[in-house]
Amino acid sequence: MHISKRLSNLTPLIEQNEISRLQAVIESTKTTDDINSLIIHHCVSQADAARMCGMSLNTFKDRVVEAKEQGVIDDVMFESNKYLYSLGHMHALMDWMGIPKWSDKNKGNIIINVVNQKGGTGKSTTVISLAAGIALRMNERRRVLIIDLDPQGTLQQVTAPRLRDSDASSELVLSAVDIMLGSEEKDSDYAQLIANGYTHQEILEYSILKTHIPNLDVLPSFPTDERFSQAAWMEYAKTGELMHVKRLKSKIIEPLSNHYDLILIDTGPHVNPLSWSALEACNALLVPVCPRKLDWVSTGQFLSNLPEQMSYLPSKGDNVKFFKAITVNYDEEQGRDIEMLHQIKTVLGRDVLNATIKRSSAFEAASRNYRTVFDLRKKDNLCPDRQLDKAISSLNDAIRELLLTLEDVDFSEEN
């Protein structure tokens, strides 16, 4: 039998034994108790809530009574003889009170492609850590979305999002690639939803998974997303054009422009049409760099080749308005990375953030427990307290500097 025929015969057997996406998501989805624990972890006291809203405690109490009467919030939690306000409460209250947030500045959507073709540089950890840290900044209340374009699909496991409906069996889990390829895949879930009368916008919004942080969402990926590059190359063979790379922007980013203030795109360590689609869709580049000699050599080669890659894209790279590198996994305790850090700063100059994300066992502990480091509690003893403090402190420093440098750029379409 011809090899291609034998491979074709394997297809139905593979499909029969394939673990469904729903099962994969459910396995990494937290229980109600887990979610409640994380919600409580991020709660604030009544005094802190009043301070965040910029008012006295008595005034805040009066406004809360009014908000409850109007149905703005439900009852707050009361534990250990004190009131606890969840992130959901705080978002609803601050919006109702008209407390300014980042989107009021109206400087356009920021779409950051976190990219480095060198594997093992901590891209996914960087993405989820930055996204969670930014989403937790209540003074700005940015609406944050992670688009996972790495077919390994690690981000949906780390964030462990909740399914929205109690009836999990009714859920379809679509990835960004499913939506980008859309109705051209005639037997796909996307095509079936279109046939059932759903619009593209409805399918897109339906596919986004919520997390325990109210303003942080995830559009997941799965191993089958590898087929995007194959479809793009086949189209290129027929037409001589790589039009597929425009689909992330047109089919996902633009329809969500009013839904999110900041979108972070995580790509795999590949140079292919799927990673190029992120380059075409973004307006900012963030390159994680490990201060190790071999990592820096590989990253340097990637940065040297990046302009040529961008020149082949439809936009020619004109869409990118911001570029920074960020040093990650920096080991300050052993002193072994200081020389490489100086070399990186010498070469990149102002194009590398001064703040570094430091090496810490807290990141491994968070990943093992399907959390971000911001979700870890010292009383759970998942890592040494000092390691957790170091991880959170370095992340907050990096986030603060990143956001300040982003402030200098106008990302509005008119600009």
For 14, residues 6+ apart whose C-beta sits below 8 A from its C-beta are: none
Report the side by side order of strands in the sheet with 352-358. Answer: 209-210, 216-219, 144-149, 262-267, 110-114, 284-289, 322-330, 352-358
Cα(391)–Cα(359) distance, integer angstroms = 7
What pLDDT is stored for residue 250 in this prediction? 96
Angle made by CA atoms 84, 88, 93, in degrees to the nearest 5 = 85
Last residue of a domain, one of 69, 96, 123: 96
Any idea what the CATH number is for the domain that residue 58 is in? 1.10.1660
Q: Which of 80, 96, 112 is the last residue of a domain?
A: 96
pLDDT tens digit string along 109-127? 999 999 988 777 778 899 9
pLDDT tens digit sequence for 215-242: 999 998 888 899 999 999 999 898 988 8
Are 140 and 266 part of one and the same domain?
yes
Q: How far apart are CA 38 and CA 371, in angstroms?
A: 9
Q: Given this model, what pLDDT does residue 229 score? A: 92
- 267 in a domain, yes or no? yes
Task: Judge if 126 and 89 occupy the same domain.
Answer: no
Can you give the pLDDT at residue 370? Answer: 83
User: Would you write out the chain's pLDDT as a tens digit for each of its 415 residues?
Assistant: 455 565 556 555 544 444 455 555 555 555 556 667 788 889 999 999 999 999 999 999 999 999 999 999 999 988 888 899 999 999 999 999 999 999 888 778 999 999 988 777 778 899 999 999 999 999 999 999 999 998 876 776 565 555 555 444 345 778 999 999 987 888 888 998 999 999 999 999 989 988 889 999 999 888 889 999 999 999 989 898 888 999 999 999 999 989 999 999 998 888 899 999 999 999 999 999 999 888 888 888 888 888 998 998 999 999 999 999 999 999 987 777 898 999 999 998 999 999 999 999 999 999 888 889 999 999 999 999 999 999 999 999 999 999 999 988 888 765 5
Please report the pLDDT score of residue 78 as a whole number. Answer: 86
* Res 157: pLDDT: 59
Do 68 and 134 sit in the same domain of this protein?
Answer: no
CATH number at residue 330: 3.40.50.300
Sheet with 77-79, strands from edge to edge, namely 44-45, 82-85, 77-79
pLDDT of residue 151: 84
- Is 65 found in the same domain as 190? no
* 49 shares its domain with 184: no
Q: What is the pLDDT of residue 93?
A: 96
Same domain, 84 and 128: no
For residue 302, being part of any structural domain is answered with yes
